[in-house]
Structure 1
Amino acid sequence: MSHLEELYLGGATLPNDFLSNKIGSMTSLQVLSLTYSRLNGTLPSHQGLCELKTLQEIDLSHIGLGGQLPWCLANLTSLKFLDISNNQFTGNIALSPLANLMSLEYLILSYNNFLVPMSFKSYYNLSKLIVLESVDNIFFEGEDILGSAPSFQLFQIHLSSSKDGRNIPMSLPNFFYYQNQLKIVELSGFDFRGTFPRWLLKNNIGLQALTLTKNSFSEPFQLPSSPMLELVALDISNNNFYGAIPYKIGNSFPKLQFLSMSRNNFEGMIPSSLGDMTFLRVLDLSNNQLSSKIPIHLAMGCSFLEGLKLSSNNLTGPILPPQNNLPNLIWLHLDKNKFTEIPPNLSNSSALRLLNLSHNHLEGEFPIEFCQFDGLTQLDLSNNNFTGTISSCFNVEHLEKIQLSNNKLNGPFPEVFHRLMNIRMIDLSNNHFNGRIPNWIDSISWLSFLILKNNHFDSNIPDQICHLSKLTLIDLSSNKLSGSIPRCLNNITFELEDIRGMYSSQIVAAKPMLNDDQKISCHHNYWAFHDRDTLGLRRELFLVQLEFTTKGMTLPYTGKPLLFFSAIDLSNNKLAGHIPPEIGNLSKIKALNLSHNNLTGGIPTTFSKLQNIESLDLSHNNLNGNIPSQLTELYSLGTFNVSYNNLSGRIPQATNQFGTFDSSIYIENPFLCGEPLPNNCTDSPLSIPSANNNASVVSNFIDVGTFYMSFVGSYTVVLLAIAGILYINPHWRRAWFHVIEVFITSSYYFVVDNMWRIKVGFLRRYG
């Protein structure tokens, strides 16, 4: 072991004294990698690791270490590569031993709790330093005197502050003025509030990737004085740039492969010169104020384009020019614009996998052009004015998500969906679909989200829906569904783990893939530029958004929140019968809405097992009995509503979450009593226990249905008894008929006498 030169124990479970004792005998060790090992505690302060003076590379990332860096690390005078990212280290790095590691070339400090001076003044003597990264630490201004030059020439630098999500007012560090060999620069999350540093581009003509996001630059964007012939990635998103995008931008960055100018205040037209960027693969101009049409030259010149995002602008006309040459286009985000046409030759983009055209002014029959795509995985046409039915030629074999909400589509549940083998989401809400939910719906076995609200679906909810074991969200609200709630819904586990995979296998078009001359490996593939997402175009591009009503509010759910949300909404239908007690076994769901139906019976006590429930709405039904006191055990319950029912008895004690509810959730239940209601339970009739269909509900009053049935039955028995007595006893029968005859004769003469008097009085008055 003493002659071992390289040791890789990534992911291993190590003894707590490994760095302080076990490793001390490896006196010839040059490379040590423990990344993702299970090792907590702090670094040794005087032995073990600190004695290995031959070490040249150390990777201690993702292993859970904390505390301050011990001064004995200064003994590692041969160290060239140090990665201590993704731990819980603390302390001011200006006062740490790192400033004494004179052989250091690569320093990675990201994702700790270090205090980092922006000036890096104490590191000016590290003449061999070429890579510096500090992401998500705590930055402060620090002493920075202009004129004091560092001895290093950096090759790559990545500084990003995102603590608490706040931009931190800073000045651009002075050492940047002395750098002229930079290849990769990423500065993010600093409130520089100055002008765009064009001098940085001028001083580093070999720059290959520049990311300056969330830095509050506020000015018109100005191009460099001379073309940047090596630059392949430029990201200036999330700033306050305004004015027009320079019309000669294509001439200044002719080799760009990735360009993001999103989330600024750019206005005017999209420059045609973008079409001169013939190597362009990803273009993101979303969330600006751009207008007019997409330039023809852009659609013709950028033939290598794989990703185009122009969302949230004011663009008009066809979604792509009729003349387009985009055969490699994989994803296309044109949502939230004013597009009016889908060109017939959209199929030129045969590689298209993701298409988002939502929130536009598109109209007419469901586009027949979509029948020509055979690899589409995500389609969002929501919030347009499409009409008619879904074409039977629509190729859905590879679809994973389809969103058609807020249109005017009609007809039965699309038969073509029977071929959906990989679908995870179907959203047909707010349309005019009708008929039954088909029994073959269980063939869509991978379905996680089923959103059919606000249509005209009728008949029963098919039991086959219970076979969709991967469902996590069901919204069938505001339809005409009848019958009972399927008792088999408890067969669905609503396990959220099953849907996390739908976001892990997304199309990755955001990672730069450079040719061999452009790749920057530096030292490890871990630091290769081609393995970095320098534009911030992460998988959020591919996450979907859907609306769901919970806690009385309709909210959009996007991306990660969907991974932790499961719910059932069957409200605003014609469902009848008792609430199945089996629903209480759905312990994973966050929201349950059964309101505005014709449900009867009691509230199942099994609902006390809905331990993750946050919103429970049973209002506007015909429920009776009392509210189970066991519901006070629902500690996550934030919204509860049982108003407009026939509930009775004392409401649950105002403990836990029930202590936060006011009287409005109980209104129009006149037989409920107890605080905070005005009805005092001591003034109410005694409780009358009654069984209620396995729901274990105790009622304080006579059930209304039972009362009516008893009254009719009693009345019928009395009439039959009288008829039987008169039939058996002739004397009583003759007496009864005599009484009836006298009553009829008296009534006749009473009417005749009074009618004559009324007639005489009328003639005297008006005749």
Structure 2
Amino acid sequence: MEAYRPAYSVLESLDISHNNIRGFPGFFSGICKLRNLQVLNLQDNLIQGGLDPCLGGLTSLVSLDLSFNHFEGTVSSSIFSNLTLLEALRLSDNRFDGLLLFASFANLSNLEAIDLTNNEFEVDTETPSWVPAFQLVSLDLRNTRLNQNYGHVIPTFISKQHKLKSLSLSYNALQGNVPSWLLYNNSLLMLSLRGNRLHGGIPASSQFLASSILMLDVSDNCLGSTLPTNVLRLFPDLFYLNLSKNAIEGTFPTFDNLLKLEVLDLSDNFLLGKPPPTLRQNNNSLAHLVPSNNDFHGEVMPQFSNMSNLAYLHLQNDGFTGVLPAALLNLPLLKVMDISGNYLSGVIPDYFPLFPNLVMLLLARNRFHGIIPVSLCQMQKLHILDMSANLLSGVLPSCLSNITGWKKESVVLLPAFMWLSPSYNNYRVKVPLTTKGNALSYEGIPLSQMTTLDLSMNRFTRKIPSQLGELVALHSLNLSYNILSGHIPESFMNLKKLESLDLSYNHLIGKIPPQMAQLDSLSTLNLAFNHLSGRITFENKFVTFAASSYRGNKELCGPPLENDCVFSRPPQQHEEEEEQGIGGSDLFFFSCIAVAYVMGFWSVIAPLILSRNWRTTYYAKVDSCVELCMEKLHLS
């Protein structure tokens, strides 16, 4: 009779990822009984502790994913030595430490994908006389202190991985030159060397072979020097190129040969002059262009017009001058436009509503003047509008309340770039914004979760439109450093999603609407240096705000300020007197009568009693006035 075997022992796949499972002693004891298990996925839980050696007994495993947990301790080579069928191993984003010898995987001839990213161990790939038996397809060793004992060199065993398609060695302090054998081969499609100490530029192929790479990220290194255009001709299929933060000098490189290029990032270098005409003539595929933080000059748009697929244009801090021309209309798919921090002048053009897809418009830190065109209120998809630090004036348009993107939650997708990180539910961007006079940046936040209106540091006058209280999906509102007057609109109590409100350095008067204490999402409040008065509502969310949020308002009182509110009359009577003003006070009225009586007595009556000459002169004047009046009456 066949022995009884529990049904769970024949289980071949176990996926309990994304369940907030917490580890406990003996957690793996039950899993290790599943001898036929081929796929084990524990990704994104809260499991902690070391790896149980019993995992080495799951000899049928093909895929093992322990990423995004709290595992710790060393990784013993004995655990993996018997997993000869293993094809994919993911240990990323844990707390493993110690030394991990890559030779631990020497017997895993079927291994195709390894991900050891973001741990605390040191990965040693340069063990002497070791030749890997596997042929990797994907290798991710980001932030692993790679080859710390061997001078942080690029692993040479990679040159023997003839099937390798995706390789990331980012943030490992790697030194030396970029080897030509790494760039020019027949298999590698995606290469990231970001955040290292590589130098010497991009080498040319010694055998004049064209590279097969589609995505190349060598940003945040020390490549330096100029960028020879003949090297770029060796990447005919390249559609993603990131050369930012490399101290590259010289003029804007010519990319006319990169006809498939979709994403180009040259930001934070020392490029001079202006982009060449070939950039706009032959790069119709370009959808994501970031040449910001360089030292260009000239007009902003002629170099970037006629790019029919351009969706993301980032020209921050580039030294461009002139006005915004109508050439912008040649970018029909534009979704994100950042031209902040330049020397642009003139008025804000009224053609922006002709961009139906525009969700982010950043014009901050320029020299624009005039009013905000009413046509801007037609931009229904707008999520972020930053016009801070300009010379704009006039009144705030009440029609801003018509913008749908600020009135209800809406999803914003940039599908052309979703491939950069398929795990994101939304494409995430780095957004520079100015709040409370400080330049900040939001990074890693989905665009659909960030809605901002920033009109600070301008010359806007008169009242804040009460219609702004209808922007119930707004997360950040900054109107500081203007000349706004009047009261804080009570309609602001409707801004339930508001996280940051800055109305400082204006001429606002009256009380702080007590209903605003119900704004549960509000985490930053600045009402400093206005003319506000009355007691501060110190309850709910307002309990968390410090005295600095109200400084410079002499008539405000109550916690968190030190000056207490002391009323000699009931609050209702005090409020009535505030409405009447100082002229409505009885004390003031009778005081004025007394002062007038005293001044009249000492200026007229007292001299008549005390001085004979004054009486004679006074009566003579009166007689002459009477005679003059009689004479005029007689003549009439």
**In structure 1, distance between residues paired with 2:568 and 2:50:** 69
Of the three residues 543, 549, 568, the one matched with 1:640 is 549
**2:625 aligned partner:** none
Corresponding residue of 1:255:
212
Distance 1:327 1:249, change over 3 A: farther
Q: Does residue 354 of the first structure (1) align with residue 312 of the second (2)?
A: yes
Amino acid corresponding to residue 387 of structure 1 in structure 2? S
Find the aligned partners of 2:351 and 2:541 in 1 and give their Cα distance.
Answer: 53
* Contact 2:138–2:165 (CA under 8 A) maintained in structure 1: no
Query: Does the residue aligned with 1:511 lie in a helix, a strand or coil?
Result: helix
Compared CA separation, residues 37 and 249, structure 1 to 2 (3 A): farther
Q: Quick check: 1:310–1:334 contact (8 Å CA) kept in 2?
A: yes
Contact kept, 8 Å, 1:255 with 1:277, in 2: the verdict is yes
Correspondence 1:88 to 2:47 = no
Aligned 8 A contact 1:139 1:161 in 2: no
Q: From the superposition, tell whether residues 291 and 97 of structure 1 become closer, same or farther in structure 2 (CA, over 3 Å).
A: closer
Partner residue in 1 for 2:237: 279
Aligned twin of 1:228: 185
> Residues 47, 257 of structure 1: CA spacing in aligned structure 2 closer, same or farther, 3 A cutoff?
closer
Q: Is the CA contact (8 Å cut-off) linking 2:118 and 2:142 kept in structure 1?
A: yes
Q: Would you say 1:545 and 2:432 are equivalent positions?
A: yes
Given the alignment, which residue of 308, 313, 317 partners 2:273? 317
The residue number in structure 2 matching 1:189 is: none
Deviations 1:520-575 (A, max 9, x none): xxxxxxxxxx9699xxxx955x33211111xxx51312224795894444444454
Closer/same/farther in 2, CA of residues 600 and 46 from structure 1, 3 Å limit:
closer
What residue is the counterpart of 1:156 in the other structure? 138
Q: Residue 688 of structure 1 aligns with which residue? A: 568
Deviations 1:382-410 (A, max 9, x none): 12222223444453221111111222223
Taking the aligned partners of 1:257 and 1:64, their CA distance within structure 2 comes to: 36
Cα distance change of structure 1 residues 353 and 202 upon mapping to structure 2, 3 Å threshold: same
Describe the shift of the 1:372–1:743 C-alpha distance in structure 2 as closer, same or farther (beyond 3 A): farther
1:620 aligned to 529, 543, 550, which one?
A: 529
Inter-CA distance 647–229: structure 2 relative to 1 (3 Å threshold): closer
Provide the rounded CA distance (Å) in 1 between the counterparts of 2:110 and 2:212: 30
Of stretches 708-717 and 366-375 in structure 1, the one that deviates more from structure 2 is 708-717
**Take 2:6 and 2:575, find their aligned partners in 1: how far apart are those partners?**
68
Q: Distance in 2 between matches of 1:601 and 1:418?
A: 29
State the SS of the aligned residue for 2:89.
Answer: strand
Structure 2 SS opposite 1:634? helix
TM-align CA RMSD? 4.5
1:413 aligns with 2:372: yes
- Is this contact kept in 2: 1:282–1:510, CA < 8 A? no
Deviation at 1:579, TM superposition (A): 4.8
Identity of aligned residues (%): 25
Query: Among 543, 557, 569, which residue is 2:441 paired with?
Result: 557
SS at match of 2:399: helix
* 1:746-761 equivalences in 2 (<5 Å): 746-747=613-614
Residues 579/436 of structure 1: CA separation in 2 closer, same or farther (3 Å cut): closer
Equivalent of 2:194, from 227, 237, 250?
A: 237
Q: Does 1:367 align with 2:325?
A: yes
TM-score w.r.t. the length of structure 2 is 0.77
SS at match of 1:135: coil
Structure 2 CA distance, aligned partners of 1:359 and 1:231?
A: 35
Rounded Cα–Cα distance in structure 1 between residues aligned with 2:106 and 2:522:
56
Deviation at 1:64, TM superposition (A): 4.4
CA positional deviation for 1:134: 2.1
TM-score of the aligned structures, taking structure 1 as reference length: 0.65
- Secondary structure of the residue aligned to 1:160 is coil
Mapping of residues 139-538 of structure 1, within 5 Å? 139-140=121-122, 146-147=128-129, 152-161=134-143, 170-171=148-149, 192-194=151-153, 196-197=154-155, 199-200=156-157, 202-224=159-181, 227-246=184-203, 251=208, 253-273=210-230, 274-296=232-254, 298=255, 300-322=256-278, 324-341=281-298, 342=300, 344=302, 346-394=304-352, 395-447=354-406, 469-470=407-408, 498=409, 501-502=411-412, 505-509=413-417, 511=419
Letter in 2 for 1:348: N
> How far does residue 381 in structure 1 lie from its aligned partner after superposition?
1.4
Paired AA for residue 548 in structure 1: T
CA distance, structure 2, for counterparts of residue 67 and residue 545 of structure 1: 40
Provide the rounded CA distance (Å) in 2 between the counterparts of 1:385 and 1:373. Answer: 22
The CA distance in 1 between the partners of 2:124 and 2:163, in whole Å, is 29
CA contact (8 A) 2:15 2:41 kept: yes
Does the CA-based 8 Å contact 2:479-2:502 persist in structure 1? yes
Shift of 1:745: 4.8
Instruction: Could you tell me which runs of 5 or more consecutive residues in structure 1 were left unpaired when the two chains were aligned.
Output: 1-22, 173-191, 448-468, 471-497, 513-529, 653-657, 659-664, 667-671, 674-680, 723-735, 752-767
| d(CA) in 2 for partners of 1:47, 1:571 | 60
Decide whether aligned partners of structure 1 residues 695 and 151 sit closer, same or farther in structure 2, where only a CA change above 3 A counts: farther
Unmatched segments (≥5 aa) in structure 2: 453-474, 619-636
Aligned residue among 111, 115, 129 for 2:111: 129
Q: What is the CA distance between 1:355 and its match in structure 2?
A: 0.9
- Aligned residue number for residue 455 of structure 1: none
Amino acid at match of 1:270: L
Distance 1:132 1:693 in 2: 76
- C-alpha contact 2:310 2:333 (8 A) present in aligned 1: yes
Do the aligned partners of residues 79 and 594 (structure 1) sit closer, same or farther apart at CA in structure 2, a change above 3 Å counting? closer
